[in-house]
Amino acid sequence: MSIALVLLFHAIQCLQPNWSSTVLSLFNVGLLGVRVFFVISGFLITQLLIAEQSRTGTIGLAHFYFRRTMRIFPPFYAYLAVVLILRAVGAMDTPASAVAHAATYTTNYVPSSWIVGHSWSLSVEEQFYLVWPAIMIALGPRRWLWGVALMLVVSPAMRLWYPSPTSSARLDLVADSLAAGCLLAGVRGRLLASAVVSRWMRSSWVFVAAAAGIFGIELAIPHPSVAPPWLVKLALISIQNVLVAVVIHWSILNHTGRVGRVLNWSPVAFVGMISYSLYIWQQPFFNPDVTSPLTTFPLNLAAAFACALLSYYLVEQPSLRLRRHMDGWFRVPNVLVPPARGFPAAP
pLDDT tens-place string over residues 113-143: 999 999 999 999 999 999 999 999 999 877 8
Mean pLDDT, the chain, whole residue set: 89
pLDDT confidence of residue 15: 77
Range of the domain at 290: 2-329
Residue 88 to residue 284: CA distance in whole angstroms: 16
Q: State the Cα–Cα distance between residues 319 and 56, nearest whole angstrom.
A: 26
CA distance 273 to 153: 33
Whether residue 321 lies inside any domain: the answer is yes
State pLDDT tens for residues 264-301.
Answer: 999 999 999 999 999 999 999 999 888 889 998 889 99
- Of the pLDDT bands very low, low, confident and very high (cuts 50, 70, 90), residue 19 is low
Residue with the bigger pLDDT between 27 and 61: it is 61
Give which of 125, 142, 144 is closest to 134, Cα–Cα: 144
Q: Domain for residue 338, yes or no?
A: no
Q: pLDDT for 150-188, tens place per residue? A: 999 999 999 988 876 556 789 999 999 999 999 999 999
CA-wise closest residue to 121 among 64, 41, 185, 65: 41
The number of distinct structural domains making up the chain is: 1
pLDDT in tens, 66-108: 999 999 999 999 999 999 999 999 999 999 999 999 999 999 9
Determine, yes or no, domain membership for 191: yes
Q: Report if residue 343 sits inside a domain.
A: no
Q: Within a domain: residue 346?
A: no
- Assess whether pLDDT exceeds 80 at residue 250: yes
**Is the entire prediction scored with pTM above 0.85?**
yes
Give the Å distances, CA to CA, from 220 to 4, 28, 70.
21, 10, 40
| Residues 194-213: tens digit of each pLDDT | 888 888 989 999 999 999 99
Q: Percentage of the chain with pLDDT > 90?
A: 69
